[in-house]
Chain A
Amino acid sequence: ETGVTQSPTHLIKTRGQQVTLRCSSQSGHNTVSWYQQALGQGPQFIFQYYREEENGRGNFPPRFSGLQFPNYSSELNVNALELDDSALYLCASSRAYGTSGNNEQFFGPGTRLTVL
């Protein structure tokens, strides 16, 4: 069983640029969630996708957007990058809609984004 994979591993961008991060969910999982983990902080929920639709969003501005594809892989897009967007971006997949505790989320290794 292949786990959650993310690409790229590291990325450096400058302010104002746009970035796309990618996530492949674990086999059999149809829900993908994205989190931002700033240095020394816990992950913050960005949004979740279920069956290609956004299903819940955290306190992030609209310049953070996403997609989920028919194979359940996902992209996170961030426009007009700001210095504070520098963080580790984590993707997590789960077997079904919701995080009731019975649908464990499996995390990828993350993409480290640095904005200069």
Chain B
Amino acid sequence: GNSVTQMEGPVTLSEEAFLTINCTYTATGYPSLFWYVQYPGEGLQLLLKATKADDKGSNKGFEATYRKETTSFHLEKGSVQVSDSAVYFCALSRDDKIIFGKGTRLHILP
């Protein structure tokens, strides 16, 4: 079936550190891939997306590339800020529903 696996947290980094959150997926066909972010006390927000192989989604300094050969969509940011502290969800869309990973909590220390 369709599923998303992402690295478990929490991930704790110092401000300005490099961030990678790994995400791999299992799906039939060619799903669209997403990263959502959930800030404390708020709803889910779409951070970035990619709809086909080799597409790179980017937003707010975050990037992720749709890698069909490795079925991966890793999230990266070159220099994190305290305001990036949140829970990040990797997800795919298939058959009119979004399938989410379990989420990775990110703590950025000043």
Binding site for B on A (CB under 8 A): 4, 33, 35, 40-45, 48, 55-56, 58, 90, 92, 97-102, 104-110
B35 within 8 A of A: no
Identify B44's interface contact among A41, A48, A97, A107, CB under 8 A.
Answer: A107
Identify B43's interface contact among A4, A41, A55, CB under 8 A.
Answer: A4
CA distance A41 to B44 in the complex (A): 13
Categorize the interface residue count of chain B. Answer: 20 to 34
- Answer whether A45 and B98 are a contact pair too, CB < 8 Å, given A100-B32, A101-B51: yes
Least distance between B26 CB and chain A CB atoms (Å) = 15
Q: Which 3 A-B pairs have the closest CB atoms?
A: A101-B32, A42-B100, A107-B44
Least distance between B14 CB and chain A CB atoms (Å) = 25
- Answer whether A43 and B34 are a contact pair too, CB < 8 Å, given A48-B97, A101-B49, A105-B98: no
A-B contact pairs, 27 of them (CB 8 A): A4-B43, A33-B97, A42-B4, A42-B91, A42-B100, A43-B89, A45-B97, A45-B98, A45-B99, A48-B96, A56-B96, A56-B97, A90-B43, A90-B44, A97-B96, A98-B96, A99-B32, A99-B96, A100-B32, A100-B51, A100-B93, A101-B49, A102-B51, A105-B46, A107-B45, A108-B43, A109-B42
CA distance A99 to B98 in the complex (A): 7
Binding site for A on B (CB under 8 A): 4, 32-34, 36, 41-46, 49-51, 89, 91, 93, 95-103
The reply to whether B34 and A101 form a contact with Cβ atoms under 8 Å apart is yes
The reply to whether B95 and A56 form a contact with Cβ atoms under 8 Å apart is yes
Beyond known contacts A99-B96, A99-B98, A101-B33: 9 more, CB 8 A cutoff: A41-B102, A48-B96, A55-B96, A56-B96, A56-B97, A101-B50, A101-B51, A104-B49, A109-B43
Residues of chain B within 8 A of A48, CB atoms compared = 96-97
Least distance between A42 CB and chain B CB atoms (Å) = 3
Residues of chain B within 8 A of A40, CB atoms compared = 102-103
CA distance A108 to B43 in the complex (A): 6
Residue of A nearest to B36 (CB): A107
Least distance between A81 CB and chain B CB atoms (Å) = 23
